[in-house]
Structure formats: C-alpha cells, structure tokens
Structure 1
Amino acid sequence: MQRVLIIGPCGAGKSTLAAELGQTLALPVFHMDQLNWRPGWVESSKDDIRARLAAITAGERWLIDGNYGGTLDARLARADTVVYLDFPIRLCTWRVLRRIWIYRGQARPDMTEGCPERFDLEFFLYLLAWNSGPRPRTEEMLRDYHGTLVRLKNPCALREWRDLLDKSTA
C-alpha cells in the first residue's frame, strides 16, 4: 500500500481514516476538500485541481481521500489500493449532521482554513442522492480498476480490517 485512495459517501469517515492510515503506513496524506476549496468556500478550477493532483500522483507514495468524480479516473490510474467505505447512507447522514454541529463555525482539520463548517442544502441533497447518482458513477469507474479494492460495508468491517492491517504492519 504505497498509493492509496479512500472513497465513499460524505460522512463515511474518509478523512478520519486517511489521517489514521497515513500515520500507520507513513504516507503523506492529501484531502480532496483541501485541494478543491480556497478560503471563503471558493472552488478551485478543474484545471487547477487536476494540475495539483498530477504533481501528487506522480509520486511513489501518497494517500488521497475524497471522491470528486471528475478526477477519480486519474487517481485510479496510479493507485495501488482503493479503500471504499461503502457505508449505509442513513449512517452517513447522521454523521454529517453530527459533524456540522461539532464543527459549526470553524474549519474541520481536513478542510481548508477559512471554510467554516455549515449546513449546505446542496451538499446534503448530494448525500441523500448518493445511491442513485454518485454511487453508480463510482461503481462504473471501479469496474476497470485492477489494483487492490477493499470494500468495507460498515464501521464494524472497517475496525476488523484496521485490526488486521495494524497486526500486519506491527
């Protein structure tokens, strides 16, 4: 596991896992949210994100968390491992609402400074539509992926996988 992607619906815990896994595997961690957002919730251009990602993925060791379907193809082409947190949307919805409450008015650790957590209806609707929109598109892109795909269906499966990984890296 030298070039790792962590994907899944909003609120699945991608950034939390990225921080933990980055430390376990001694990999530099990159959050797609930080690559995309500038202070004040200003979105970067697609060309700018692709250029930053090209520089990162050209390296031999990295961990990137986040879906961002428009750039997933380039990341999949270089990733040796994809960890897919394929968690139920009702759990992710609860986690997003909890995250909004906990970080309200301040930037999360995995977010660009100057982007305070807030309720965003468009973001929330995107999450609620995950199974009918983003999920099928993600599944389609994964169909041709030839590296190691670790699909975890719930937090219990994630804990079991992490325990096995921790034992193998100890």
Structure 2
Amino acid sequence: MYNRILIIGSCGSGKSTLARSLHEATGLPVVHLDALHWLPGWTERPREEFDALLMAELVKPRWIIDGNFGRTLPLRLGYCDAVIWLDYNRFTCLWGVVKRVISSHGRTRPDMGAGCPERFDWAFMKFVWGFNGQNRAKYEKLLGETKGVAVFRARNRRALRKIMKNWT
C-alpha cells in the first residue's frame, strides 16, 4: 500500500502509539523523531547531527516516521508517499500528555532518546495548548501544496479508526 508514512500532529495526539500499531500491521520500521533529537538528560542533539540522522532514515525504502519538528516537514514530505495528520483538539492532546506522564513518569519511553525520563513540565503543557494555533495553517498550506502524497487527516479518534480500517 504505502512504504513511507509520516505521522504528524500535536504532542499527546498519539503519534507514537499509532506508529507502533501501523508497524504491527504493515511490518514497516518505525523512526521516532524524538529519539533522534534528544540526547540523555533532555539535551538537544546539534542540528547538523539531527539532520544527518534524519536524512539517513529518509533515503531508506520503507519507514514510518512519527514526530513534528516543523523545520524538517518540507524535507520529509519530499520523501513520503502518505501522511497521517492527527489534527485533534487541544483538550484531547493535553489529556494524552497527562495520561502519558502518569503512566510513564520517571521512565524513558521507547519512542524517546535514552536517558530522557518522562516528566511533567508546565512549559510543555503550554506548548501543547498553543500547538494548533501555531501550526494548523502551516500544515494545511504545506499539505495542500504537496503533490503525489496521500494525506489522511483525522480530527478525532473515531475518524482515525475509520481511516485505519483500510490499513490494518
């Protein structure tokens, strides 16, 4: 069906969970951008290093890449054949972050860089609150201009389940 799938959307929308489910259904390898970006202790990897790691993944013939990093979205769109956009409201995403913090607090999730234990962070919650206001129009424009890529936009979990019926 598709060999290079991007999953984008706000933090807490379930991108990594969806990536794992798609991996189980398709066998496509998963690349978590957070795992590429974060070094131990929540230290950001230098931009050039991150870009090189990302490019090494993009040129592979098959993958699922989940994450935002808007600076690299135009580049990633040039390599993918499908995008799943989890365009959920801020309350759904905030609740997703809260559930994640509660279930994983103090532990490093498999989709994160090593040595980055889950924690509660008010600045991050504020970022999630404003994510759609800052990014929705940009995503709409970029995705609307991208040719030859199938775009699946889910505005809620029910819509995602409907989309996924054809994939799993």
TM-score above 0.5: yes
Q: Using a 3 Å threshold, how does the CA distance of structure 1 residues 72 and 132 change in structure 2: closer, same or farther?
A: same
2:150 aligned to which of 136, 141, 148 = 148
For the Cα contact (< 8 Å) 2:101–2:118, is it kept in 1?
Answer: yes
Q: Give the residue type in structure 1 aligned to 2:95.
A: W
Which residue of 2 is the match for residue 106 of structure 1?
107
Taking the aligned partners of 2:157 and 2:166, their CA distance within structure 1 comes to: 14
Residue 160 of structure 1 aligns with which residue? 162
Match of 1:125 in 2: 126
Q: Aligned residue pairs: how many?
A: 166
CA distance in 2 between counterparts of 1:56 and 1:164 reads 26
Structure 1 residue aligned with 2:48: 47
Deviation at 1:88, TM superposition (A): 1.3
For each residue in 1:138-161, what CA deviation from the matched residue of structure 2 results, as whole angstroms up to 9, or x when unmatched? 223222112100011111111122
Deviation of 1:10 (Å): 0.8
**DSSP 3-state at the match of 2:165:** helix
The answer to whether 1:16 aligns with 2:17 is yes
Mapped to 1, the partners of 2:6 and 2:120 lie a distance apart of 26
Task: Note the residue ranges of structure 2 that are not aligned, 5 or more in a row.
Answer: none
Q: Does the 8 A contact of 2:10 with 2:132 survive in 1? A: no
**What CA deviation, in whole Å up to 9, does each residue of 1:19-78 have, x standing for no partner?**
110221111100010010011101011211111111111111111000110111110011
Moved more, 9-18 or 20-29: 20-29
Matches within 5 A, 1:59-138: 59-138=60-139
Equivalent pair of 2:7/2:66 in contact (CA under 8 Å): yes
TM-score by length of 2: 0.94
- Between the aligned partners of 2:51 and 2:133, the Cα distance in structure 1 is 26
Q: Percent same amino acid at aligned positions?
A: 42
- One-letter code aligned to 2:156: N
**2:87–2:155 Cα contact (<8 Å) kept:** yes
Counterpart-to-counterpart distance in 2, 1:117 and 1:55 = 27
SS in 2 for 1:6: strand
